[in-house]
Amino acid sequence: MERFRLPKIDLGSVAIPQSVEQVLHIAEQTLAHRPKLLTLFKNCFPNTLETTTKLMDDGTTFVITGDIPAMWLRDSVEQVRHYVPFAKDDVELQRIIGGLIRRQMFYILKDPYANAFNEGPNDWHWDANDETDMTPWVWERKFELDSICFPMQLSYLYWKETGKTDIFDEHFLTAMRKTVDLWKVEQRHGEDSPYTFMRRNCPAIDTLRNEGKGMSVNYTGMIWSGFRASDDACDFHYNVPSNMFAVAVLRQMQEIARYVFRDELFVKEMAKLEEEIEHGIRLYGIYNHPKYGAIYAFETDGFGNYCLMDDAGTPSLMSIPYIGYISNDDPIYQNTRRFILSKDNPYYYEGKVAKGIGSPHTPPDYVWHIALSMQGLTASSDEEMMEMINMIEATDADTGYVHEGFHADDPSQFTRPWFAWSNSMFAMLINKAMERGLFE
């Protein structure tokens, strides 16, 4: 069986845009009294541009996830999102981000069910024997609801920041149409969906049960997802944070349809879909916990079964304010936050040097830097934000970069030394703290 090939990709080189250089210059002044933190930021903030970005001849941008030579729709957004606030007056940055959006739309039109893609139709795959409808463009075809949400939200944020509408061409409109159609199909996965996925001789989290169809679900109005943002299979296939993300993104897509494409019928259609998903979240996605009160479940099947946990990957329950669903002062979110930052969350770990959320994707007692960054970005206090920054600074294992997961007792034991998404999330956290004046 052929699995997880790592062919080399020639990314060439991308010049660091002036606005990014300016941020690094500001950091040299602001973080001068914290030399280790300054080194971390100077390494992590430009890391996506320096190591994972390729400008294509067709005007698009290809962004690999780091140590895997493929482009994830989700990861590629999170790898550049921290640059969006600086794109308004930077033509070079607009070329990079605008080009990435165009390539993401190209991939969505190739296969809206896929999560990761090749640079070209080279037929490279994570597992060449996956039983699903693969094409030479697709690296992996795990249907993750969040995968399309991320590029749509990036497009919206880029538009709002720069005012540029050139990304909203006929391909973008077709991708929007294809997205809404797919999500409506996956509201009734068992009855209407053509999607199946099976991988043989692998951990259970890498394949779908029930001959690739997944476990049975009840209709709720929410959208079915085969896999989580971790690329692990769902236990119960209505992933609540991903459906929250879809609600937030549908609101943003309605703005694009109304003010760019002038299509009120499409707006009305998306508003109906948004309401159906939101109703499902409120009716099926909230669990009355005996200790914490009403909390958001991580997953449900609509039959009254719940998965109560949180995973480090985004979208997560921790990231609900970050993805734009509700603000962090929402009472149910606050209850949920107390739950997921406790040992009642099966993937919350405490050790000698760190405490935070990990994942079934990595070994027990491994905390993820992404989760610590997200906890800081969604913190209600400056004190909690600085606590996360200090914890990350102390757990880089003196590598000058952050990682995927690391052992809560020993940061020198870590996974994925080159993980651009994690570097970008940390850089976003530090930049937010600098903007708040927390280092003065």
Full 3-state SS string of the chain: CCECCCCCCCCCCCCCCHHHHHHHHHHHHHCCCCHHHHHHHHHHCCHHHHHCEEECCCCCEEECCECCCCEEHHHHHHHHHHHHHHCCCCHHHHHHHHHHHHHHHHHHHHCCCCCEECCCCCCCCCECCCECCCCCCEEECCCCCHHHHHHHHHHHHHHHHHCCCCCCCHHHHHHHHHHHHHHHHHCCHHHHCCCCCECCCCCHHHCCHHHHCCCCCCCCCCCCCCECCCCCECCCCEEHHHHHHHHHHHHHHHHHHHHCCCCHHHHHHHHHHHHHHHHHHHHHCEEEECCCEEEECCEECCCCCEECCCCCCCCCCCCCCCCCCCCCCCHHHHHHHHHHCCCCCCCEEECCCCEEECCCCCCCCEEEHHHHHHHHHCCCCHHHHHHHHHHHHCCCCCCCCCCCEEECCCCCCECCCCEHHHHHHHHHHHHHHHHCCCCC
Number of domains in the chain: 1
Neighbour count for residue 236 (Cβ, 10 Å)? 20
Residue 411 resides in a domain: yes
DSSP secondary structure, 296-317, as one string: E-SEE-SSS-EE----SSSS-S
Residue 131 resides in a domain: yes
Distance CA 129, CA 233 (A): 18
Domain region containing 255: 18-435
Residue 427 resides in a domain: yes
Residue 122 resides in a domain: yes
Task: Using DSSP, state whether 368 is helix, strand or coil.
Answer: strand
Q: Give the pLDDT of residue 2.
A: 33
Task: Please say whether the beta carbons of 439 and 433 come within 8 A.
Answer: yes
What DSSP designation does 214 have? -
The tokens of 16 are what? Answer: 């660091």
Distance CA 17, CA 187 (A): 42
The dihedral through the CA atoms of 329, 333, 338, 342 has a sign that is negative
Name residue, tokens 């320096």. 50
Distance CA 425, CA 373 (A): 6
Residue 5 resides in a domain: no
| Mean pLDDT (10-residue bins), the chain, 440 residues | 41 85 97 97 96 96 91 98 98 98 98 98 94 97 98 98 98 98 98 97 95 97 97 97 98 98 98 98 98 98 98 98 97 98 98 98 97 97 98 97 97 94 97 96
Residue 6 resides in a domain: no
Q: Give the pLDDT of residue 12.
A: 59
Distance CA 63, CA 54 (A): 6
Q: Which amino acid is at 399?
A: T
Q: Give the pLDDT of residue 10.
A: 59
Q: What is the CATH number of the domain that holds 25?
A: 1.50.10.10
Residue 124 resides in a domain: yes
Peptide bond into 315 cis (omega under 30): yes
Residue 4 resides in a domain: no
